[in-house]
Structure formats: C-alpha cells, structure tokens
Amino acid sequence: MRIVYVVGTRPNFVKTAPVIAALRARLPQGRHALVHTGQHYDRLMSDVFLEELGVPAPDYMLEVGSGSHAQQTARVMERLEPVLTEERPDLVLVPGDVNSTMAAAVTAAKLGIPIGHIEAGLRSFDRTMPEELNRIVTDQLSDHLFVHSPEANDNLHAEGVPAERIHLVGNTMIDTLVALEGRFRAAGAARRLGVEPGAYVLVTLHRPALVDGPLLRQAIGQLAALAREMPVVFPVHPRTRKTMEALDPSHPGLLLSEPLGYLDFLSLLADAGAVLTDSGGIQEETTYLGIPCFTLRDNTERPITIEAGTNTLLGLDPAAIASIPARLAERRSPPEPPPLWDGHASARIADVLA
C-alpha cells in the first residue's frame, strides 16, 4: 500500500503525526510519503512542531507560502499534481480544513486517487468562514471520512454521504496530546513565564473575522482590562501580529510572546485557569484537559465541546471578554472527555485502512 500524507499548517501536523506513526507500524512494507505544502513556513509555526511531534522529515516540500486563497490553493494543486503522478499512491490522506487540505483533495480526486479525510464532518454552517468551504469540498470528494464525534456523523448523513464511507474513530489531535502528556506536564512553562499555575488566562486569536479588522483593537482593550484581574498570556499568531503592528494598540499588562512550541503551549494550556480562543483545536484540547474555554466566535463546528461543559461561545463581540471572571466563578467540576477521545483514534484509522 502506498500512502501520501499532505500537511501544511500547524494544526495539520498535530492531527496527522499519530496517524503516520500508526500506519507505518501497521504497514511497515508500505510506502509512506509526506508532503509539506509550506502554507505555514516560519520555524516557530512549522519546524519546531514537526521536531517535537517526532514527524520524519517531509519527502516533498512544496513551499507555497502565503497568498490569497486562490493563489495558495492553486499553488498547492500545481505543485502537488506531479508528486502524485510520480508517487501513484493508493490513498492520499489529508487532515482538517485548511486551504492545503482542500487543494490536495481536489488534486487527488481529479487524478482518480482515493482520499481519506481526518476530522471529517465538522460544520459551523457559516459559509463566510474559509474553513467551512474547505470542509464541504474535502468531505464531498473523500472516500474514507474519519469522524471524531456523533454530530460530524449526522452532518455527513444529512449531506448524503453514504454510511459505508464514514468511520467514527475518535480524535487524532487528542492522540498526540495523550502521547505528549508526560513531557508537557513536566515542561513548567507557566513558572518560566512568571505566572502561577491555575491563575492566568491563556489567549490565542488568529481568525480573519477577528484579527484582520477593527475587532482586534477592541479585543486588546478588553484583554488589558482583564489583565488587571488576572495575568493574561498571549502567544501571537503571525497573522495577528501583522494587524497588531499596523494598529499599534497599547497593551498594558498583557504577556505577549512569539508563537510557542507545542510542548510549551500544551503546558500553558493544561495549567491555565481559563482559555480565550477562536481556534478549533484548542476548543477540543481544553475539553480533553477539563479547562474552561471561552470561544470568541458566533458559532462553532465543534458543538461537542459545548455539550461537554468546558466550552462557552462568547460571540464575536470582544465586549463579552469582560464577563469571563464572573462566568469562571459559576463553573462546575470538570467533565469527562467525549467517547473515543482516548489516545487510540489513529490506531482505529489504521484498522480501517489496513
């Protein structure tokens, strides 16, 4: 069996690393070729992650870099097509919902190569999100849809995807978290930053709806106010950094940093008193860890994190950040993680494919 794995961004690496390991172990005679599209290319967004996750060096680097959606998508397609033509894989595996994911799926589908989609079936029902379009296209073109929650199953059924294509396997991002737990629990990132475990808010913001326009200034103002009550730690995504540099808002009291490596980030996440985010993956990681998460968006494609009781949708208006201390005071005891978020999802994918 010949498999090509296509990854491009930070969360892609986290979702795919354990799947590559499981399939290499299950199919040691097979060909396992890794393609890195280069959608994320900074050392802190890419190399550090691959090293910490123990991912072997990519066999192909497409170096597509940044650009408009059409440019980025087109570059992946143009540069991936000859790779797939040469490799002639039996399967192309793609994770998540980024431009690289959709571009790889379209390229493989047009060459008649079967596609497996890791984290299929998520829907925000908000087509203004680029990721929602990427999810819909990728799922429609995929032959094996690996889902992590019953809602994802329901979404695919509602779109007419045949049941035999859908496999409820669990969450491969949580596989990585479980595998790294001993290391990140020992990392002590909070103390290195000079904050008390359990007593700070960890913030990540990177979605265009929030960080490409005026809402970012309002969010920074709200965070500065929150920082008067508890320390606010904010590793800044390059996209967010760009707008922040242009806006030049004052941010008294915020502990800003470059993007962190995954072990340090998970260490800060596990020790946080609360998390404020617009990320999808972080809604899931906090659910597994039982940490209160406040999501600065109007919707989520991960409703299971709300049902679990860890995640609260604040809406897109940054004014809601002011309600975090009061909401924290009302909080119940941490719930159990959802079924199949147990560290073995990748092994189940390998079972299906092998």
Q: Which residues are catalytic?
A: 206
Which of these segments, 7-15, 29-37, 84-92, 120-128, binds ligand UD1 (CB under 6 A)? 7-15
Give the nearest distance from C-beta 41 to ligand UD1 in angstroms: 4
Nearer Cβ to ligand UD1 (226/295): 295
Q: Which is nearer to ligand UD1, 22 or 174 (CB)?
A: 174
* DSSP at 195: -
Residue 256 backbone phi and psi in degrees, to 5: -90, 145
| 8-state DSSP, 255 | E
243 touches ligand UD1 (CB under 6 A): no
Give the DSSP H/E element, type plus range, for residue 319: none
Residue whose pair of structure tokens reads 């904010």 in the numeric block: 234
Query: Residue 184: which of 255, 271, 56 has the closest Cα?
Result: 271
What count of other Cβ atoms lies within 10 Å of the Cβ of residue 316?
Answer: 17
Structural tokens at position 90: 């039996």
**99 belongs to the binding site for ligand UD1 (CB under 6 A):** yes
- Nearest one of 163, 99, 166, 109 to 134, comparing CA atoms: 99
Work out how close the CB of 68 gets to ligand UD1 at its nearest, in angstroms, rounded to a whole number: 9
Residue 340 three-state SS: coil
Choice between 95 and 273, CB closer to ligand UD1: 95
Residue 275, strand partner residues: 202, 293
**Tokens 């147990």 map to which residue?**
342
The rounded distance, in Å, linking the Cα atoms of 175 and 18 is 7
Q: Which is nearer to ligand UD1, 43 or 192 (CB)?
A: 43
Among 3, 4, 9, 272, binds ligand UD1 (CB under 6 A): 9
Q: Rule CB under 6 A: is residue 310 a binding residue for ligand UD1?
A: no
Rule CB under 6 A: say whether 130 interacts with ligand UD1: yes
Instruction: List the one residue out of 125, 121, 205, 213 whose CA is nearest residue 161.
Output: 121
Only one residue has tokens 């200034």, namely 217
d(CA 276, CA 274): 7
Give the shortest CB-194-to-ligand UD1 separation in angstroms.
Answer: 26
Size of the site for ligand UD1 (CB under 6 A): 19
Question: Least CB distance from residue 275 to ligand UD1, whole Å?
Answer: 15
Measured from the CB atom, the residue of 72 and 312 that comes closer to ligand UD1 is: 72
Select the residue interacting with ligand UD1 from 150, 197, 221, 238 (CB under 6 A).
238
User: x/- string (CB under 6 A) for ligand UD1, residues 35-74?
Assistant: ----xxxx--x--------------------x--------
| Residue of 206, 302, 344, 348 that binds ligand UD1 (CB under 6 A) | 206
Query: Site for ligand UD1 (CB under 6 A): which residue of 92, 98, 219, 233?
Result: 98
Q: Output b/e per residue, 130-148; b: 16+ Cβ within 10 A.
A: bbbebbbbbbebbbbbbbb
* Phi-psi category of residue 234: left, alpha or beta, with phi > 0 → left and psi -120 to 50 → alpha: beta
| Interface pattern 143-182 for ligand UD1 (x via CB under 6 A) | ----------------------------------------
Residue 265 within binding range of ligand UD1, rule CB under 6 A: no
Q: Can you give the binding site for ligand UD1, defined by CB under 6 A?
A: 9-11, 39-42, 45, 66, 97-99, 130-131, 206, 237-239, 242
